[in-house]
Chains A and B, each alone.
Chain A
Amino acid sequence: MSSGLDALYTDIIFEHDKRPQNAGLREPFHAEVHHVNPTCGDEITLRLQRERGGAVEDISYEAVGCAMSRASASMMTELLIGRSLAEAEEITRAFEAAMSSRGRDAGDPEVLGDAVALLGAAKFPGRVKCVLMAWKAYRAALVEADALDGGAG
């Protein structure tokens, strides 16, 4: 009866839920954003430190939410920190596409690493937004950081 559940909840999800990587808010940061999921009340505060035109230097965060949303934030920071902004964009796009595929796109472990474990949620439409919250916050922080620097680009 729990076979559907087991597609969603795996050891690696709970590993990140219990021991979230890069959690806690850190200095310095270029931008800080606060995102909420108004249907379930989940919240994330996310800080981004990045070199303009260069690399994602740090992403730190505080997240309140379900196992899926917390694991997602943890896995995302593992994937993106240290990457060039261009690589981070590629990963983010690949992840968003797979999450929106209703399970048709199984995701490339070479690109997405542990985060392929999150794709089980793609078959549960109600959980997609839980998983994507941290990624949306990251995107918003990028825009915010550019705006604070004075204009996009």
Chain B
Amino acid sequence: MTSFDVQRVRADFPILQRTLAGGEPLVYLDAGATSQRPRPVIDAEVAFLTRSNAAVKRGAHQLAEEATDAYEGARARIGEFLGAPRPEEIVFTRNATEALNLVARSLGDGDASTPDHLRVREGDEILVTEMEHHANLVPWQELARRTGARLRWIPLTDDFTLDLTDLGSLLTGRTRVLALTHQSNVLGTVNPIGTLVEAARAVGALTVLDACQSAPHMPLDVRELGVDFVALSGHKMLGPTGIGVLWGRYEHLAAMPPFLTGGSMIEVVHMDRATYAEPPARFEAGTPMISQAIGLAAAADYLSALGMEAVAAHESALTDRALRGLRGLPGVRIIGPAPGPERTGAVSFAVEGRHPHDIGQVLDSRGIAVRVGHHCAWPLHRRYGIPGTTRATFSVHTTAEEVDALVDSVSYALDYFGRFA
């Protein structure tokens, strides 16, 4: 933690100034569900809406041109944030879920003109992991159902990491796609992407990375990752809701059939047929989410200015502090790996004999916002024999004092329920 000034960062987040119903200050530890937005993100949307709002890529007027420049400029800035070789590789979607559905749908929709490696068919296999968020699981279940392909998954170890023991029999010449998360939204585990991408490449499988939980917390470079597709969520990386990103290698996007169809994604339309635009337009049917894309670019700029290495170091220190504190409490079991470089700031835990919803309720009474339940990763929770967990997630504005307040309040919750024993 060299030059990371968390108090200066906090001043950028207007929502952190508010108090809650009982007068408590807000301790927001639910950035993993949705992050709060700094002033520059809010201002970017307001500036666009109050000055340049217009439909993009149509209209022969000044506002339309300003809007198009702002929208395409946002694409370029997000491309830079991700290290994308070309801005045309950035496709705007409504959210990460839509980005993942886009890939899963398109890979099942090819015809004889589509290259074989971009088609999933009967007899093929799709490989996911047991730690996936439903957004990176259900679309692949559906692709398997539509095509007759087989869905397989990499299981989890008792140590909360991927069990790669049988990788050789799971990832084979039949595997067309390996879809996995960069970082578990429950466990905090960072997956060994390098090893897995290499193994997938060796058998000719595409790799699809869900980077929703990693993009706001660590440096990300699509070229270094070596994957074929990356899905991002705007509202989990300090940006607006209603905007997500699919990054894909241009040669793939250029050969893939469209997902949603309609206006803006066409080349030529006749009554009985149409041809489609080049990427990214091919995958952006209809009027896009313009102010949201601009807000997201402002969020990427904001994170870049903080420096993702510094952000990662800041949150890593908080994670260690939280794990140390929570581990010492009686009956608290951390659902995630021990502190280390392969672990980031999603800290989930189970409390012996106490349901997470009850724990979350007590934390809320003390101003601490956490998430409870299965966090859209039901199979993961089933694997560990628990119905749900209480999860704290950290962000650029989280302080050590807030982490201590979390630990104190979990301790208070244990006492609170203890009195009914």
Q: Complex Cα distance A118/B291, Å?
A: 44
Inter-chain contact B416/A65, CB cutoff 8 Å: no
- Does the CB pair B22–A66 fall under 8 Å? no
Q: Is B24 in contact with chain A by the CB < 8 A criterion?
A: yes
Report A40 CB to chain B, min CB distance, Å.
4
Please state if B361 and A11 are interface contacts (CB–CB under 8 Å): no
In the bound complex, residues from chain B placing their C-beta under 8 Å from that of A18 are: 420
Tell me the number of A-to-B contacts counted with CB atoms below 8 Å. 58
Against A, the Cβ 8 Å flags (1 = close, 0 = not) of B126-167 are 000000000000000000000000000000000000000000
Residues 1-44 of B, flagged 1 when their CB comes within 8 A of A and 0 if not, give 00000000000000000000110100000000000000000000
Whether the Cβ atoms of B420 and A40 lie closer than 8 Å is: no
Contacts of A41 in B (CB 8 A): 373-374, 378, 381, 387-388
B388:A9 contact, CB within 8 angstroms: no
Whole-angstrom distance between the alpha carbons of A14 and B358 in the complex?
A: 12
Q: Which residues of B contact A2 (CB under 8 A)?
A: 362, 365, 416
Q: A5 to B420, Cβ gap below 8 A?
A: no
In the assembled complex, A86 has its CB within 8 A of some CB on chain B:
no
- The interface centre, meaning the residue of A9, A43, A64, A68 with most chain B CB atoms within 10 A of its CB, is A9
Q: Please, how many angstroms separate the alpha-carbon atoms of A95 and B108 in the complex?
A: 49
Q: Is the CB of B388 within 8 A of A124?
A: no
Q: A130 in the interface, Cβ–Cβ < 8 Å?
A: yes
User: Which residues of A approach B to under 8 Å, CB–CB?
Assistant: 1-2, 4-5, 8-9, 11, 14, 18, 39-43, 64-68, 124, 127, 130
| Chain A to chain B contacts (Cβ below 8 Å), 9 pairs | A4-B22, A40-B387, A41-B373, A41-B374, A41-B381, A42-B355, A64-B387, A68-B357, A130-B357
User: Do residues A5 and B373 form an inter-chain contact, with CB atoms below 8 A?
Assistant: no
Chain A minimum-CB-distance residue to B374: A41
Question: B378 — which chain A residues lie within 8 A by C-beta?
Answer: 41
Q: How far is A65 from B366 in the complex, measured between Cα atoms in Å?
A: 22
Chain B positions near chain A (C-beta within 8 angstroms): 21-22, 24, 355-358, 361-362, 365-366, 372-374, 378, 381, 387-388, 416-417, 420
Given contacts A5-B416, A39-B373, A41-B388, contact A66 B366 (CB under 8 A): no
CB <8 Å contact, A127 and B361: yes
Contact of A9 among B373, B374, B420 (CB under 8 A): B420
CB neighbours (8 Å) of A8 from chain B are 361
Closest to A121 in B: B361
Tell me, in angstroms, the Cα distance from A111 to B387 when the chains sit together. 33
CB distance A5 to B381 under 8 Å?
no
Q: What CA separation (Å) do A5 and B92 show in the bound complex? A: 43
The complex places the Cα of A93 from the Cα of B366 at a distance, in Å, of 34
Contact between B416 and A40, CB atoms less than 8 A apart: no
Task: Tell me the bound Cα distance from A124 to B362 in angstroms.
Answer: 12
Shortest Cβ distance from residue A134 to the other chain B in the assembled complex, whole angstroms: 15
**Bound-complex Cα distance A127 to B360 (A):** 11
Chain A residues with CB under 8 Å of B366's CB are 1
Contact B387–A5 (Cβ < 8 Å): no
Most buried by A among B358, B387, B388, B417: B358
Q: Please pick, from A5, A14, A67, the residue contacting B355 in the complex, using a CB distance under 8 A.
A: A67
CB distance from A127 to the nearest CB of B (A): 7
- Besides A5-B365, A40-B387, A67-B355, 12 more A-B contacts (Cβ < 8 Å) are A1-B22, A4-B21, A4-B22, A5-B361, A5-B362, A9-B416, A40-B357, A41-B388, A43-B387, A64-B387, A68-B357, A130-B357
Select from chain B the residue with minimum beta-carbon distance to A2: B365
Known contacts being A65-B355, A66-B355, A67-B358, is A4 close to B365, with CB within 8 Å? yes
